[in-house]
Amino acid sequence: MDAEIIAVGSELLTPDHTDSNSLFLTRRLNENGIEVRLKTIVGDDRERLAAVFRAALKRSELIILTGGLGPTEDDINRDVVAEVLRRPLREIAEIRQRLESLFQRLGRKMSENNLRQAMVPEGAAWLENKNGTAPGIWIEHKGRTIVLLPGPPRELEAMFDAACLPRLTRLAAGNRIRARVLKVVGLPESEVDQRIAPIYKTYANPTTTILAISGAIEVHLRAHAPSAEAADARLGELAEKIEAILGDHVFATHGETLEEVVGMYLVMNQKTVAVAESSTGGLLAERLTRTPGSSKYFLGGAVCYSNTLKVRLASVPENLLEKHGAVSKPVARAMAEGIRRNTGADIGVGITGIAGPGGGTAEKPVGLVFISMADERGTEVREFRFPGDRARVRLWATQAALELIRRRIRS
Amino acid sequence: MDAEIIAVGSELLTPDHTDSNSLFLTRRLNENGIEVRLKTIVGDDRERLAAVFRAALKRSELIILTGGLGPTEDDINRDVVAEVLRRPLREIAEIRQRLESLFQRLGRKMSENNLRQAMVPEGAAWLENKNGTAPGIWIEHKGRTIVLLPGPPRELEAMFDAACLPRLTRLAAGNRIRARVLKVVGLPESEVDQRIAPIYKTYANPTTTILAISGAIEVHLRAHAPSAEAADARLGELAEKIEAILGDHVFATHGETLEEVVGMYLVMNQKTVAVAESSTGGLLAERLTRTPGSSKYFLGGAVCYSNTLKVRLASVPENLLEKHGAVSKPVARAMAEGIRRNTGADIGVGITGIAGPGGGTAEKPVGLVFISMADERGTEVREFRFPGDRARVRLWATQAALELIRRRIRS
């Protein structure tokens, strides 16, 4: 069963808002074996909405419209759907009574326009709204199912779970969709694709999508099957083949973040870590402590932006700073070793670099970052040149540092 | 001039992703007097994309397609647009040469599929991609303008600003849309609305929207006018009236972040700051160093997750930790004073709390956070109880710490 979502509201076409109800709806629909094939966002504009709705009727079995059910003139969904389907609006006495008694309880006078909410297209069912005044509408029409839901997420979500899910489960029996995400570091997107395309192309189910997101390449797999277990088995089979090809470039097999994976390894190996950061300004510590329970392996760190603090908090020898400059291999090494010694951590990490946009020179350009890692087996220092702006240089530097830790403790 | 945006990518139809490029594009288009009338999100599906693109050609003067320009089989935008417009794809020698020399510079072998990126529909212009391999495409066709942009935001944004804006400015003369964002702390959304509604409701242009976003209330104003200056004058008039009502709860008048505003005040007052963080794990340091040039006022900090590090890095007396526990007023105070002393900063900040989800007790529940600030006038400690999950408790704690600094140095 294929679904299509139409979000209605002029505010959803401004630079600051977007439709987010569709994320909730997609999750619920997928859990019940229904794929979302198309989403449209349209303003409070009768003509455009009618055109989009007509096109949806031609191609999708389930059409969900969100928003546009309130009492004002802007709220056009009820009218447009009734008109396109040629099902005139009829007042439902029960809804009217509920509205009247609600306003009475609140001690407020009900304005006439609220009665628009009691109107429902002929032959349609209405859905109770436990968190607001506008009821939803459910229409079965020439093999299509059309659902109108209110825009506020609290109203939409409660209504969907209480009134729509039981109906949809009946309509979409016997199909489940499950997804899995593998994450890869150390290979560019095109190379990941080239290596694994010969395998994933032999599978129509699961489908495979490759994405570059926040410093990692993600391989998204989605499978259909009559049961969740069968869908998971399909995912497992393909995931295993992809892992066999990409080897230890795969750091996550179920969507985990790199910091979660590193945390897991640290717990498994009963190792602790401490960090000394300059150019990343605390981002590595922040990522390591995003995960609940990170106090088991993260002792702490020093954000030593100034040279003085590199000396005081990470015990970097002053003569190294004078001789090589703050952004240098020897200083990165001293930061990692110093923070390890000062905190008693098993692993010490040091990062120093030039995040930009200012501060670069011909010799030490923006994007130059030294990352060091010290443990009982010794100290490793690596030099990186990250492209992009300040935020990106900082993100990639923490990504590289986490990957250094992962490779060291995994082995 | 009316625009329509088509975002292409199957991952944009999953529960975890949505199209966000359209927000950037809408902002830029609005600034140039172009309204976005419709947005569609469609998967990597040739037939559906062709249908949506055909419908767009009928109704919109400007059609922007995002994503689907990469080297893989999934990347269908180039092919579908060429086919619908009946403009066959031709290889552009210059793009091919650029791709080849790029891969040579990187010392990597170019896989054959990368050459798809050198193909451009007949009669179209191509747009340079400074941050990636896939060039954009610009087509003028029977009174319509069709633009194909790459999906990664860094690539799309740079390309749009460099190559599309100058072309669009020519197309859309005579109407400008400008926006301004005021940001408010310390008042709930409903109270902000109640206080300023009597003013903003008297204006049809600018329009006003109030939003709660990441720990602040934002008041968004949008004005139309024949020129940018005239639109800005309208915005300025209403913004001034709103500021007069909300007073020093307004921390930003042009969309600045709280860390940018605090950084500005620190520079103006020639003050330096250092932080000692426990529950926020480096997030406060990270926020303070997001701004370029933050080394002028941010000396550094200690992320002291363990008690040992609270003693070593922030000189918290051990007996305080034993007597009151790590999450307590006296420890927050000692952290702020200790980090100030150890770093020589003008202002020291200490944060200790329980971010959750574990670690809470009846007496010290999840969300309890003590924040302290020390400077030459003395030390202030405040107790907060933040609702929500781990990420939210950490965000609100850093928000409160930044607001403490702002209030102290502004006066």
Angstrom distance (rounded) from CA B74 to CA A406: 31
Stated as kind and residue range, the H or E segment containing B154 is helix B153-159
- Residues with Cβ within 8 Å of A96's Cβ and at least 6 positions away in sequence, in order, are A115, A118
Q: What is the mean pLDDT of residues A26-31?
A: 90
Residues B180-214: pLDDT tens digits?
999 999 887 778 888 998 999 899 999 887 777 77
Is B404:B382 a contact under the CB 8 Å cutoff? yes
CA dist A84 to A50, A55, A148, Å? Answer: 7, 11, 14
Phi, psi of A378 (to 5 degrees): 135, -170
pLDDT tens, per residue, chain B with 411 residues: 889 999 999 989 988 888 999 999 999 998 888 989 999 999 999 999 999 999 999 999 999 999 999 887 788 999 999 999 999 999 999 999 998 988 888 777 887 888 889 999 999 999 999 888 899 999 999 999 999 999 999 899 999 999 999 888 777 667 788 889 999 998 877 788 889 989 998 999 998 877 777 778 889 898 988 888 999 999 999 999 999 999 999 999 998 999 999 999 999 999 999 999 999 999 999 999 999 999 999 999 999 999 999 999 999 999 999 999 999 999 999 999 999 999 999 999 999 999 999 889 999 999 999 999 999 999 999 999 988 789 989 999 999 999 999 999 986
Mean pLDDT across chain A, nearest whole number?
92
Cβ contact, residue pair B27, A15, below 8 Å: yes
The model's pTM? 0.78
Predicted pLDDT of residue B215: 76
Contacts of A179 in chain B (CB under 8 A): 14
CA B397 to centroid of chain Cα atoms: 19
Which pair of structure tokens corresponds to residue A173?
């029996």
Residue B52 touches chain A, beta carbons under 8 Å: yes
Predicted pLDDT of residue B196: 92
Cβ contact, residue pair A313, B290, below 8 Å: no
Q: How confident is the model at residue A411 (pLDDT cuts 50, 70, 90)?
A: low
Choose, out of A8, A303, A335, the residue to mutate when testing the contact with B (most B CBs < 10 Å): A303
Please state the domain extents for chain B: 2-171, 176-252, 258-410
Is B72:A193 a contact under the CB 8 Å cutoff? yes
CATH fold of B258-410, please? Maf protein (3.90.950)
Q: Do domains B176-252 and B258-410 have the same CATH topology?
A: no
Lowest mean pLDDT among A58-62, A157-161, B205-209: B205-209
Q: Coil, strand, or helix at residue B254? A: coil
Is A331:A316 a contact under the CB 8 Å cutoff? yes
Q: Mark which residues 280-309 of B lie under 8 Å from A by CB.
A: 280-286, 288-290, 292-295, 298-306, 308-309
Question: Which amino acid, one-letter code, is at B33?
Answer: G
Predicted pLDDT of residue A73: 72
CATH fold of A176-252, please? Alpha-Beta Plaits (3.30.70)
Choose, out of A27, A34, A195, A286, the residue to mutate when testing the contact with B (most B CBs < 10 Å): A286
Give the CA radius of gyration of chain A.
Answer: 28
CA B178 to centroid of chain Cα atoms: 18
Query: Among candidates A38, A201, A153, which has minimal Cα distance to B12?
Result: A38
Q: What is the mean pLDDT of residues A231-248?
A: 96
Contacts of B312 in chain A (CB under 8 A): 342-343
Phi, psi of B56 (to 5 degrees): -65, -40
Predicted pLDDT of residue A304: 94
Nearest CB to B282: which of A27, A220, A289?
Answer: A289
Angstrom distance (rounded) from CA B185 to CA B139: 46
Beta strands in A10-161 (DSSP E): 35-42, 62-66, 89-91, 119-121, 125-127, 136-141, 144-149
Cβ contact, residue pair A48, B26, below 8 Å: no
Predicted pLDDT of residue B173: 67
Residue A342 touches chain B, beta carbons under 8 Å: yes
Question: Which amino acid, one-letter code, is at B98?
Answer: R
Confidence check: pLDDT of A93 > 80: yes
Closest chain B residue to the Cα of A211, Cα to Cα: B11
Higher pLDDT, A330 or A209: A330
Cis peptide before B15 (omega within 30 of 0): no
Angstrom distance (rounded) from CA A284 to CA A288: 6
- Residues with Cβ within 8 Å of A314's Cβ and at least 6 positions away in sequence, in order, are A276, A302, A304, A334, A335, A338, A339, A342, A350
Which pair of structure tokens corresponds to residue A278?
């300059």
Cβ contact, residue pair A48, B37, below 8 Å: yes
Total Cβ atoms within 10 A of residue A343: 26
Is B136:B126 a contact under the CB 8 Å cutoff? yes
Assign domain A2-171 to a CATH class.
Answer: alpha beta
Phi, psi of B55 (to 5 degrees): -65, -40
Cβ contact, residue pair B309, A343, below 8 Å: yes
Is B335:B372 a contact under the CB 8 Å cutoff? yes
Predicted pLDDT of residue B411: 66
Q: In a 10 Å sphere around its CB, with 0-12 CB exposed, 13-18 middle and 19+ buried, how is residue A198 labelled?
A: exposed
Q: Mark which residues 149-178 of A lie under 8 Å from B by CB.
A: none
Total Cβ atoms within 10 A of residue B27: 16
Predicted pLDDT of residue B132: 86
Confidence check: pLDDT of A121 > 70: yes
Give the single-character DSSP code of A64: E
Pairing of strands A347-353, A273-277: parallel
Cβ contact, residue pair B40, A38, below 8 Å: yes
Q: Coil, strand, or helix at residue A372? A: strand
Contacts of A49 in chain B (CB under 8 A): none
Question: Which amino acid, one-letter code, is at B63?
Answer: I
What percentage of chain A exceeds 90 in pLDDT? 75
Residues A325-350: pLDDT tens digits?
999 999 999 999 999 999 999 999 99
Q: What is the mean pLDDT of residues A86-108?
A: 90
Angstrom distance (rounded) from CA A121 to CA A99: 18
N- to C-terminal Cα separation, chain B:
48
Q: Coil, strand, or helix at residue B178? A: strand
Predicted pLDDT of residue B243: 96
